[in-house]
């Protein structure tokens, strides 16, 4: 015989169940807001400490700490929150925290500034930050010489290398790459700034090699910028590291372009 419908699960009872779930969501939202208030209050204390010791003058960015934080959160989340959603949410929080410490302008060249797809990715990473568009990669890098708290974002394969001179006063270095989550290919963008390089636990050292110079043997990736090749070596390598020392000795004109966290590898 056909089963009689369960009269207990009527439309009014379903409505009451849905309303209860909505009240739970509202309660969770209230808790999230309170936690954000606590977090931004802690950021204020960080600013006060950095202002006192003078460390905020160079750059409010801490790429190594941010990378370690995101890796930890992605590992804790497991499958409950996708890495892409988690990174997007925390980049909003981290960008707001950075701007609480100091105003920041993100400098782009005109090619990125007028490309909506690139602007979207950069805007999601540096949420709410002021953007300055310059006529060339060289102009974007030059802007950082007098604004050390700012960053410049340039296409990895754009013609930035000709204007890159780490020895010049006020010149930036590469402090990060985008996207944050690894896709197994060279990064689309390089982040230039004055943040102090620090090891994050999974890092790369970037070497800029002039045309014709031999490339390192242990490459993570390489990309061409004009007459130069940018090569990535595994690890946070100091000048006394044999891998870095030997390569610089074999490649006249090669220079260190930066040390930064590697993109986050996510298992599928």
d(CA 75, CA 55): 30
Percent of the chain whose pLDDT exceeds 70: 92
Whether 55 shows a pLDDT value over 70: the answer reads no
Whether 202 shows a pLDDT value over 80: the answer reads yes
d(CA 1, CA 112): 68
pLDDT, greater one: 78 or 12: 78
Whether 3 shows a pLDDT value over 70: the answer reads no
Whether 218 shows a pLDDT value over 90: the answer reads no
What's the whole-model pTM score? 0.89
Read off the pLDDT of residues 219-245 as tens digits, 9 standing for 90 and up. 999 999 999 999 999 999 998 899 899
């Amino acid at each position: 015989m056909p089963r009689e419908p369960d009269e207990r699960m009527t439309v009014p009872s379903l409505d009451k169940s849905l309303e209860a779930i909505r009240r739970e969501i509202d309660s969770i939202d209230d808790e999230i807001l309170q936690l954000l208030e606590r977090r931004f209050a802690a950021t204020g204390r960080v600013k006060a400490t950095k202002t006192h010791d003078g460390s905020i003058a160079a750059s409010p960015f801490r790429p190594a700490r941010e990378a370690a934080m995101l890796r930890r959160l992605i590992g804790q989340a497991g499958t409950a929150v996708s890495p892409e959603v988690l990174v997007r949410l925390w980049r909003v929080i981290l960008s707001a925290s950075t701007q609480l410490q100091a105003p920041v302008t993100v400098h782009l060249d005109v090619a990125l500034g007028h490309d909506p797809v690139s602007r979207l990715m950069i805007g999601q990473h540096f949420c709410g930050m002021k953007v300055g568009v310059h006529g060339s990669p060289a102009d974007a890098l030059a802007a950082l010489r007098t604004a050390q708290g700012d960053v410049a974002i340039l296409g990895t394969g754009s013609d930035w290398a000709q204007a890159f001179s780490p020895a010049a006063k006020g010149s930036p270095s590469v402090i990060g790459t985008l996207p944050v989550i690894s896709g197994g290919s060279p990064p689309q963008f390089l982040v230039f700034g004055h943040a102090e390089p620090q090891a994050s636990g999974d890092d790369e050292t970037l070497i800029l090699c002039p045309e014709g110079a031999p490339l390192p043997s242990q490459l993570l990736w390489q990309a061409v910028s004009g007459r130069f090749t940018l090569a990535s070596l595994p690890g946070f390598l100091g000048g006394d590291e044999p891998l870095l020392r030997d390569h610089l000795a074999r490649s006249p004109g090669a220079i260190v372009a930066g040390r930064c966290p590697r993109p986050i590898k996510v298992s599928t």
